[in-house]
Amino acid sequence: MEKTELSSSEAITLEQNMIRTIVQGYNECKSFFSLNRDYADPYQNNAKKDLLKRLSHTFYQNFSSHPHILSDDYAQEVLHKYFRVFIRVKGGSFPYPYGFVRFMDRLQDRNTIPIREIDLTPLDNFMEMFSDHQNLEEFLLLFFQVVKTLLLPLRERDVELIKLLTNPQLLLKDKSYKSRVHTPDMKDLLQLLGLNSTQINRVKRSYQYLYKYRICNASSMIMNPATFGFYIAEFEYTTEQEKDLESLRPYFLWDIPFKNRKSAIACVPYGNTNELLRSVNYIQMTNYYWNINFDSLTHDKYDTIHGWSKFNPPNFLAKDYRISDYVEWDLERSFKDEFSTQEIEILKNLSKGNVLNYQSLGKLSGTLSSGGVRYILEQFVDNGVYQLYPQVNHLGLKEIIFVKITCKDEAYYKSLIHSLLSFPIAHVLTNDQEKLIVGYFHINSKFVEEITDNFNLLAGKLGEAITIEYELLPKKKILLRLPQLDKINFSIRNGVAYTIE
């Protein structure tokens, strides 16, 4: 379907009407699902089907002229089969009305929905406050931010599976110590949990629940760009300097509002370091540590902190704090000198961050077979180019604390790295020569004050030997695990990446 070009005033009016319709649909669905909860009742199920069909078809008929409404063959199939209209947004899409219905619909198999009703107060407040918003994309991006704050209850079996799907070591190698190039299948999960085939339904139900509500899945990735000739730099800049950094922006991994300035991590081709970083005062980061540690997560039936009541924040005052399980990457070493055009193509496609599973392997290359792609991926995983990384939401870890520390005391410097890695999700970059630590970690809001007090005590104890700056991160930030390689033309020679025209 051709989209008619709209004037600015027409576009504003259309988007206002779309937002109002989304809010009205939300309220209508909330009312319906509060009264209809019996999955075994065919009348309630038929009424649900009629409601979703009416909302989706009416929305499409009224707003299909908007350029962000998808109308290709696949979108049409989803509309008529599943009663969803896809609205394209930055970084993804919003399926109306399913985008909010999935959190309120209890007319489903009880094994694949939350064990208790979800508290939708944050979404209720959002819909009420933003019903007159004028910009559709802003509205939907804000909606996604609010959705991430929803807390979803967990069964004991869900916690078991989350701990498995978030363990970096289990996502690196399978039980035969072979490189894990894509997300584990059901057979893998049964083996790792120590279960037999008669217990497969228990795992399937939990997996479906975690995947359906985007609580946890292990099909994402994280990369070490140094292994294919890129340079990792840390620098700060002010608002006045932003105009001088346009050519550098495609290389940003982190971009964080910090005090009266911004802190950035850039990933640039090593051969273009001087050219791309000429306008900033930068420091090379030499090591990358990261960890996902959900050992303290508990089944939350009797937990007042949504599964984190057994978590104990590290004591930053300890001089010899150590943990044993984490990932450490060298940021000064390429794993080989030359990369073929097929390998660079696969690197670029990996960096797009699409779901990586058995079925998607063939899409990583236009010339190689799935077997050829798998061989290259195994080489990449074996040499630390990338590995699987879990995505988690709705687990009470909405607070992110960013830290920048310079510590001249060697013992405390090492201890602090390990302390930061003990948080549920942590990413830490360092320069050992400068004794510089830059990183962030996710934490339940219950612990924020205790953690910041601990930082302040350490600063008071070490005095001039340490500088600690920390910030509770705002919603607007850039924190990427994958460089945007698809936006860069580059080759790799003698272990060094260079941009090419």
Closest CA to 442 of 457, 425, 454: 425
Looking at residue 300, what is its pLDDT? 65
- What SS3 state is found at 343? helix
Domain 287-328+396-476 has CATH 2.160.20: no
Range(s) within the chain of domains with CATH label 3.30.70: 287-328+396-476
Looking at residue 363, what is its pLDDT? 84
One DSSP character per residue, 448-468 reads HHHHHHHHHHHHHHHGGGEEE
Tell me the pLDDT of the chain (501 aa) as tens digits: 555 666 777 888 899 999 999 999 999 999 999 999 999 999 999 999 999 999 999 999 999 999 999 999 999 999 999 999 999 998 789 999 999 999 999 999 888 899 889 999 999 999 999 878 879 999 999 999 999 989 898 999 999 999 999 999 989 988 778 889 888 888 888 887 887 777 888 888 999 999 999 999 888 899 999 999 999 999 999 989 988 999 999 999 999 998 789 999 999 999 999 999 999 999 999 999 999 999 999 886 656 677 898 899 999 999 999 999 999 999 999 999 999 999 999 999 999 876 677 677 888 998 999 899 999 999 999 999 999 999 999 999 989 999 999 999 999 999 999 999 999 999 999 999 999 999 999 999 999 999 999 999 999 999 999 999 999 988 788 999 999 999 999 999 999 999 997
Looking at residue 185, what is its pLDDT? 81
| Tokens coding 457 | 């005590």
Looking at residue 312, what is its pLDDT? 93
The rounded distance, in Å, linking the Cα atoms of 286 and 365 is 31
Looking at residue 357, what is its pLDDT? 72
Looking at residue 197, what is its pLDDT? 77
Token look-up 């104990």 returns 312
- What SS3 state is found at 294? coil
List, in sequence order, every beta strand (DSSP E) within 142-250: 216-223, 230-237
Looking at residue 263, what is its pLDDT? 94
pTM value is 0.90
Looking at residue 3, what is its pLDDT? 58
Looking at residue 106, what is its pLDDT? 95
Looking at residue 80, what is its pLDDT? 96
Q: How many CB atoms lie within 10 A of CB 131?
A: 16
End-to-end CA distance of the chain: 36
Distances (CA, A) of 36 to 41, 49, 112: 9, 12, 17
Looking at residue 4, what is its pLDDT? 62
Looking at residue 199, what is its pLDDT? 81
Looking at residue 484, what is its pLDDT? 93
Burial (CB count within 10 angstroms: exposed 0-12, middle 13-18, buried 19+), residue 249: middle
Burial (CB count within 10 angstroms: exposed 0-12, middle 13-18, buried 19+), residue 300: buried
